[in-house]
């Protein structure tokens, strides 16, 4: 914590002073053009990876950048933030950015199968990404990663649900990249069920973008919805 407090002092004395005009201009209003939705992961820094200044990104973060579909009680907080960005701030773009090595996605893959009890807050939250899990299960089984058939009579297998020992790292990384991309696509579908987003997207006032950020390379891959693929920026 001392390091963080020291950082606060350094920010005020050095960074804030240097950018004083910028912060003065943001004193009583903001006009971000982009709503940036991403994971809470400490390694993903929206301002850093987009080289944006304060005031440029309106940011929504949660575990796994999951957007519950409209109507889900647990999605009220996410939806309120998104509504505010569209109606009050007038953002023109929504970026939903997933990332490699996502802890929420890993937990999702090891979570109880649909139909089983979701008791913890995390498992209830991850259940909103069940569509990702169902597709990922098929991808993993196809690649020979799955040890178990997920027959409920076997019970929840915890961390032993999948094994990757029979795959090399390149193949494992490729599968996880595919799952991460799938997850972004699924959450974008949920996003479009939110009335304010659906309306703004249909009228062309808001454009929607799916991204995947690679922790190890700094690369960002952009979703090309027309060709159903991701392209390197």
Two tokens, residue 112: 């109880």
HSE-CB for 95 with a 13 A CA cutoff: 23
Rounded to the nearest whole angstrom, what is the least distance from the CB of residue 204 to Zn ion in the complex?
31
Of residues 91 and 104, the one with the C-beta less far from Zn ion: 104
**Measured from the CB of residue 65, what is the shortest distance to Zn ion in angstroms?**
7
Shortest CB 90 distance to Zn ion, Å: 28
Q: How far is CA 117 from the centre of its chain?
A: 24
Query: Applying CB under 5 A, what is the total number of residues that bind Zn ion?
Result: 4
96 vs 200 by CB, closer to Zn ion: 96
Tokens representing 102?
A: 């996502």
**Piece of 35-43, 46-54, 131-139, 156-164 that binds Zn ion (CB under 5 A):** 35-43
Q: What is the edge-to-edge ordering of all strands in the sheet holding 220-224?
A: 57-62, 34-39, 93-99, 207-213, 220-224, 229-232
What is d(CA 225, CA 229) in angstroms, rounded to the nearest whole number? 7
The correct pick among 34, 35, 41, 68 for binding Zn ion (CB under 5 A) is 41
- Site residues (CB under 5 A) for Zn ion, limited to 77-116: 102, 104
Q: Looking at 34, 35, 39, 161, which residue binds Zn ion (CB under 5 A)? A: 39
Question: Shortest approach of Zn ion to residue 8 CB, angstroms?
Answer: 26
Q: Are 67 and 132 in contact (CB under 8 A)?
A: no
In angstroms, the CA 84 to CA 127 distance is 25
Cβ nearer to Zn ion, comparing 44 with 194: 44
Q: Which residues bind Zn ion (CB under 5 A)?
A: 39, 41, 102, 104
């Amino acid at each position: 914590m001392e390091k963080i407090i020291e950082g606060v002092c350094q920010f005020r004395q050095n960074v804030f002073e240097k950018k004083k005009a910028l912060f003065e201009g943001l004193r009583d209003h903001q006009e971000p053009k982009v709503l940036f939705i991403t994971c809470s992961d400490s390694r993903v820094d929206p301002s850093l990876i987009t080289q944006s200044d304060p005031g440029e990104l309106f940011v929504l973060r949660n575990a796994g950048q999951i957007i519950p579909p409209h109507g889900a009680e647990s999605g009220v907080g996410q939806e309120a933030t998104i509504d505010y960005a569209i109606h009050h701030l007038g953002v023109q773009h929504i970026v939903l950015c997933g990332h490699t090595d996502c802890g929420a996605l890993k937990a999702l893959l090891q979570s109880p199968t649909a139909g089983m009890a979701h008791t913890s807050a995390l498992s209830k939250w991850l259940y909103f990404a069940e569509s990702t899990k169902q597709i990922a299960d098929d991808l993993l089984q196809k690649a020979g990663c799955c040890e178990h058939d997920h027959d409920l009579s076997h019970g929840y297998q915890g961390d032993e649900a999948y094994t990757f020992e029979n795959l090399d790292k390149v193949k494992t990384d490729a599968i996880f990249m595919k799952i991460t991309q799938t997850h972004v696509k699924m959450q974008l579908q949920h996003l479009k069920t939110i009335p304010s987003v659906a309306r703004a997207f249909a009228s062309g006032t808001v454009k929607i973008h799916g991204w995947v950020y690679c922790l190890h390379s700094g690369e960002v891959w952009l979703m090309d919805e027309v060709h159903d693929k991701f392209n390197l920026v």
